[in-house]
């Protein structure tokens, strides 16, 4: 009887262990299949603003009158994006540039470089890394053009999940001493990612990040 009792208890122990392992595997599967709470519960104002911005971008590409893809606008499948994430919306300190002389930035068309002035450097932290990117202002006919800062950059996603030629951001001019918000969720591809014939500035070497910025526009597979 003692032997039989031991066998029964051993079988029950194996059953309990099996049940425990099944529960652990189920929890792991569910955690891997669904977004984290931080991803699923982004602030409503952030989600609303980003949705509005992306809707406007989609509308622009679908409109043949203004679309960067020109006569292919009606068959353009639409832009694709990384999920919105406030972790990629960071505050940066602007360090004014000591060198304000105009210079040329090469474009995708070697015969058409574009003239810029370096406005300054934005210093910020992203996922614990201290980073720095230069911002520029476009010059036309010897004068600074526009009212925004141009931020072209490369990162570790280029050539895989984003366009190999990098991405851009447009930022409003800050007031003196004001922190600058960099929202990588609004990073967009140059027109060259979708259509030929454009002269797209190539991000300077000083704006090449070693980290992966998994935010903003993603590469549209099968297009062009």
> Per-residue pLDDT for the chain (224 aa), expressed as one digit of tens each?
343 333 344 544 443 344 443 343 333 333 333 334 444 578 999 999 999 999 999 999 999 999 999 999 999 999 999 999 999 999 999 999 998 899 999 999 999 999 999 999 999 999 999 999 999 999 998 889 888 999 999 999 999 999 999 999 999 999 888 999 999 999 999 999 999 999 999 999 999 999 999 999 999 999 97
CA distance 183 to 191: 20
pLDDT at 147: 87
CA max distance for the chain: 101
Contacts of 126 (CB under 8 A, 6+ apart): 88, 90, 211, 213
pLDDT at 41: 73
pLDDT at 40: 55
pLDDT at 8: 41
Q: Do 181 and 92 contact (CB within 8 A), yes or no? A: yes
- The structure tokens 């070497």 sit at 205
Query: CA-CA-CA-CA torsion for 114, 115, 119, 121, nearest 10 degrees?
Result: 50
> Two tokens at 52?
């509005």
| C-alpha dist (Å) from residue 126 to 3, 168, 180 | 63, 17, 14
């Amino acid at each position: 009887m003692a032997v039989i009792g031991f066998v029964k208890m051993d079988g029950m122990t194996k059953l309990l262990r099996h049940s425990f392992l099944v529960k652990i595997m189920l929890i792991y599967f569910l955690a891997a299949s669904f977004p984290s709470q931080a991803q699923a519960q982004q602030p409503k104002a952030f989600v609303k603003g980003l949705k509005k911005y992306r809707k406007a971008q989609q509308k622009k590409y679908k409109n043949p009158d203004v679309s960067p893809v020109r006569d292919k606008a009606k068959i353009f499948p639409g832009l694709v994006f990384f999920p919105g994430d406030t972790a990629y919306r960071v505050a940066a300190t602007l360090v004014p540039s000591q060198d304000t002389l105009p210079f040329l930035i090469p474009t995708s068309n070697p015969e058409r470089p574009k003239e810029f002035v370096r406005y300054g450097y934005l210093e910020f932290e992203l996922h614990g890394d201290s980073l720095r990117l230069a911002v520029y202002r476009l010059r036309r006919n010897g004068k600074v053009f526009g009212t925004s800062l141009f931020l072209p950059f490369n990162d570790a996603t280029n050539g895989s999940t984003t366009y190999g030629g990098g991405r851009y951001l447009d930022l409003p001019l800050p007031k003196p001493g004001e922190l600058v918000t960099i929202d990588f969720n609004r990073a967009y591809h140059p027109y060259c990612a979708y259509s030929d014939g454009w002269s797209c500035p190539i991000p300077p070497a000083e704006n090449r990040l070693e980290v992966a910025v998994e935010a903003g526009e993603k590469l549209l597979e099968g297009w062009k």
